[in-house]
């Protein structure tokens, strides 16, 4: 209930219990790590475009010696890039920031079910992030066994430095944070919806966040177990993943990927929900096939738990087992096609408004379709044996996951910024940013897949030793230029974001004419969200373009 206590700066901004403030904390943390991980990409791409050449001006500062990237440093760069992007950038931005900010607002609650747990989960993420950053300067060198961290390479004999140990600790704290968040989200969504807000009247954003939280809840404990077993092998002399004596390194791979595959769905489900809502709002049309979309997302959530072996076709599993995983993997195409077609059908016969969130959502439609199609190449067991560990896979997962999440995340920020900060962002600048980012994303990751088809392996500090790759080194140069351009374009976003927080024009209550509950409260919403009385919901979240209504659309809550 609304508390009229006076809050100190510390209890309002550092250790807040208000879900909106926590959400914004997550957003800032996520953006910080997004730029950190993105910066690492520039260093990686420098090495690939100009192998063993010293980086001008700052090379000696970053790499020591003559200023070029050393192979072990290169391995650490892509290790930390992957880890930071997946766990410290995307997870906090999409799940932490938008989950926290939107769930109570969109379901008509005053806050999360457990505000203290919420606050703790954020600071646990920060603790994990600090340890992860510290791992970069740990004695013995940072982790360098890939974000997948397979033993024995990540084990005590082969990764002797403390960096790998810190990496495990940082990630375990991050996982704990996500687990706390998942519990909170599920409890809030299932028990704190306001009167009239049935499950099938929730915005699809909430459905995406709900399924994502369910996957988090089920699968993070598995990777936590794997990580703790690896930690024990490293520091306590155990032999969980030893090659002999009844154990096997393959066990780690099974445990890791058992979580690792649902993890990619954890990251993308919120985006699917957000894009479904954005397409509806800016086509002024109900989301086509709302129920079918929900059931499809549910089916994908379930299927995601039984396909992990498709990351291990070359690992030494029986080919019979590989074929079972192949068959299960391709079944995900059915629900995916259904909700994807529903996206297109939402646009069909709509009245489309080309705002920056809409452009971003349409960008997601395109990159996800392409990324999803290239997934079929990797699902096929025999073809994947050729493509595994090449740049085809790198291009595939960046197109499917990173591109969708990036474009969708930017769309979400552009969309909810007015509500979060009470100010408007610069719309023309936002549109330019989205369009340029989309074009560069298409260039960079399609070229990567092309390069991978030629056979270039991933995680290679220097591919120029091989005759079969020499003719294609120019592609590495081209990709690096594309990535540099993509990074520079993000300056448009960074400038827009920071400038608008301080100097943006004041935002109205509902600048986008959207029907969900968060657009009925002031921008930014006050503590307690809804004033004296909670809203009562009378209809679904997408009642746009009603034929008989002069106003054209009706908000969810009874007006």
Partner 1 sequence: METVMLRKKIACCGLLIGALFSAACCADEKSGLSWMLPDGITSYSQKVDTLFTTLMYTTIFVFGIVLSSLLYFCVRYRRANGGKAFYTHGDSWKATAVTGTLAMMVFIGIDMNTVRLSKAASADIEAHPDLKDAYRVQVVAKQFAWIFRYPGEGGKFAKLDMKKAMDPKLAKENGDPNWCGVDDDDPDDKNNIQVEGFLVVPANKPVVIEIRSKDVIHSLYIPVTRIRQDAVPGMKTSIWFMPLREGRYEIACSQLCGAQHSQMGATMLVLKDEAECNKYLKQYAKQ
Q: Is 468 in the site for partner 1 (CB under 8 A)?
A: yes
Q: Which is nearer to partner 1, 67 or 152 (CB)?
A: 152
Q: Which is nearer to partner 1, 98 or 308 (CB)?
A: 308
264-to-36, 62, 217, 271 alpha-carbon distances in Å: 21, 31, 14, 11
Q: Which is nearer to partner 1, 70 or 487 (CB)?
A: 70
Query: 433: helix, coil or strand?
Result: helix
Which one, of 318, 224, 281, 367, lies nearest residue 540 by Cα?
281
Whether omega before 417 lies within 30 degrees of 0, making that bond cis, reads no
Helix H or strand E encompassing 541: none
Q: Is 323 in the site for partner 1 (CB under 8 A)?
A: yes
**The one segment of 254-262, 300-308, 323-331, 478-486 that binds partner 1 by CB under 8 A:** 323-331
Residues 158-187 binding partner 1 (CB under 8 A) are 158
Give the bridge partners for 537, in sequence order: 557
Q: Which is nearer to partner 1, 20 or 285 (CB)?
A: 285
* CA 33/CA 19 separation, integer angstroms: 21
Residues 328-347 binding partner 1 (CB under 8 A) are 330-331, 333-335, 337-338, 341-342, 344-347
Q: Which is nearer to partner 1, 53 or 333 (CB)?
A: 333
Would you give the binding string for partner 1 spanning residues 426-465, x where CB under 8 A is met? ------------------------x--xxx-x-xxxxx-x
Q: Quick count: other Cβ atoms within 10 Å of Cβ 258?
A: 22
Residues 372-391 binding partner 1 (CB under 8 A) are 373-374, 376-377, 379-383, 385-386, 388-390
Residues 61-80 binding partner 1 (CB under 8 A) are 70-72, 75
Which one, of 345, 342, 435, 449, lies nearest residue 392 by Cα?
449
Q: Which is nearer to partner 1, 95 or 393 (CB)?
A: 393
**Pair of tokens at residue 286:** 């109900």
**The one segment of 9-17, 27-35, 138-146, 523-531 that binds partner 1 by CB under 8 A:** 138-146
Q: Please, what is the minimum distance in Å from the beta carbon of residue 110 to partner 1?
A: 30
Helix 100-107 × helix 163-191 angle, to 10°: 10
254-to-148, 200, 249, 310 alpha-carbon distances in Å: 11, 36, 9, 11
**The one segment of 94-102, 108-116, 289-297, 422-430 that binds partner 1 by CB under 8 A:** 289-297
CA angle 393, 44, 470 (to 5 degrees): 70
Which residue in the set 167, 290, 421, 497 belongs to the binding site for partner 1 (CB under 8 A)?
A: 290
Q: Please, what is the minimum distance in Å from the beta carbon of residue 383 to partner 1?
A: 5
Q: Is 269:208 a contact under the CB 8 Å cutoff?
A: yes
* CA 472/CA 407 separation, integer angstroms: 29
Residues 227-256 binding partner 1 (CB under 8 A) are 242-244, 248-250
**The one segment of 168-176, 209-217, 258-266, 283-291 that binds partner 1 by CB under 8 A:** 283-291
Q: Please, what is the minimum distance in Å from the beta carbon of residue 467 to partner 1?
A: 6
Q: Which is nearer to partner 1, 42 or 380 (CB)?
A: 380
Q: Is 547 in the site for partner 1 (CB under 8 A)?
A: yes
* CA 411/CA 355 separation, integer angstroms: 9
430-to-320, 358, 360, 368, 408 alpha-carbon distances in Å: 50, 11, 10, 21, 13
Q: Which is nearer to partner 1, 56 or 246 (CB)?
A: 246
Q: Please, what is the minimum distance in Å from the beta carbon of residue 276 to partner 1?
A: 12
Q: Which is nearer to partner 1, 127 or 153 (CB)?
A: 153
E-only strand ranges, 430-558:
none
Question: What is the secondary structure of 525-540 as a DSSP string?
Answer: PPTTSSTTS---B-S-
Residue found by looking up tokens 């298409």 in the block: 442
509-to-184, 363, 416, 522 alpha-carbon distances in Å: 28, 27, 11, 5
Size of the site for partner 1 (CB under 8 A): 95
**The one segment of 6-14, 105-113, 400-408, 544-552 that binds partner 1 by CB under 8 A:** 544-552
């Amino acid at each position: 209930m609304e508390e009229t206590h006076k809050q100190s700066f510390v209890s309002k901004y550092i250790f807040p219990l208000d879900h909106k403030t926590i959400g914004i904390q997550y957003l800032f943390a996520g953006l910080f790590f997004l730029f950190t991980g993105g910066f690492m990409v520039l260093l990686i791409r420098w090495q690939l475009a100009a192998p063993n050449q010293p980086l001008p001006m700052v090379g000696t500062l970053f790499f020591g010696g003559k200023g070029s990237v050393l192979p072990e440093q290169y391995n650490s760069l892509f290790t930390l890039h992957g880890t930071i992007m997946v766990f410290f950038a995307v997870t906090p931005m999409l799940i932490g920031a938008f989950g926290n900010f939107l769930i109570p607002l969109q379901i008509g609650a005053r806050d999360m079910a457990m505000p203290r747990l919420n606050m703790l989960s954020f600071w646990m993420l920060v603790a994990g992030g600090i340890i992860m950053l510290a791992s970069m300067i740990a004695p013995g060198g940072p982790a360098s066994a890939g974000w997948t961290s397979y033993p024995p390479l990540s084990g005590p004999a082969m990764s002797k430095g403390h960096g790998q140990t810190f990496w495990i600790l940082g990630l375990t704290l991050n996982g704990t944070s996500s687990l706390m968040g998942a519990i909170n989200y599920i409890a809030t969504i299932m028990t704190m919806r306001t009167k009239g807000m049935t499950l099938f009247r929730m915005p699809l954003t909430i459905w995406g966040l709900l399924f994502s939280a369910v996957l988090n809840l089920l699968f993070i404990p598995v990777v936590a177990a794997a990580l703790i077993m690896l930690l024990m092998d490293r520091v306590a002399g155990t032999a969980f993943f030893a090659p002999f004596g009844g154990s096997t390194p393959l066990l780690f791979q099974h445990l890791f990927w058992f979580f690792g595959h649902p993890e990619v769905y954890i990251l993308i489900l919120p985006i699917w929900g957000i894009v479904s809502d954005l397409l509806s709002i800016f086509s002024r049309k109900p989301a086509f096939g709302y129920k079918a979309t929900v059931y499809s997302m549910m089916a994908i959530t379930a299927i995601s738990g039984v396909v992990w072996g498709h990351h291990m076709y070359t690992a030494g599993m029986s080919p019979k087992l590989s074929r079972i995983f192949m068959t299960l993997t391709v079944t995900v195409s059915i629900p995916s096609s259904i909700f994807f077609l529903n996206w297109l059908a939402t646009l069909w016969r709509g009245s489309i408004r080309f705002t920056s969130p809409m452009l971003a959502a349409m960008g997601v439609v395109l990159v996800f379709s392409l990324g999803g199609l290239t997934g079929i190449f990797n699902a096929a067991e025999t073809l994947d044996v050729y493509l595994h560990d090449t740049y085809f896979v790198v291009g595939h997962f960046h197109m499917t996951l990173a591109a969708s999440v990036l474009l969708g995340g930017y769309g979400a920020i552009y969309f909810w910024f007015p509500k979060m900060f009470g100010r408007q962002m610069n719309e023309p600048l936002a549109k330019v940013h989205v369009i340029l980012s989309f074009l560069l994303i298409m260039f960079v990751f399609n070229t990567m897949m092309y390069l991978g088809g030629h056979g270039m392996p991933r995680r290679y500090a220097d591919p120029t030793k091989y005759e079969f790759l020499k003719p294609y080194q120019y592609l590495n140069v081209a990709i690096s230029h594309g990535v540099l351009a993509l990074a520079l374009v993000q300056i448009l976003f960074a400038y827009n974001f920071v400038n608008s927080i301080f100097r943006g024009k004041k935002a109205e209550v509902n600048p986008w004419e959207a029907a969900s509950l968060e657009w009925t409260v002031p921008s930014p919403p006050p503590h307690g969200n809804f004033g004296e009385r909670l809203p009562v919901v009378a209809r679904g979240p997408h009642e746009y373009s009603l034929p008989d209504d002069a106003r054209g659309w009706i908000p969810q809550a009874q007006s």
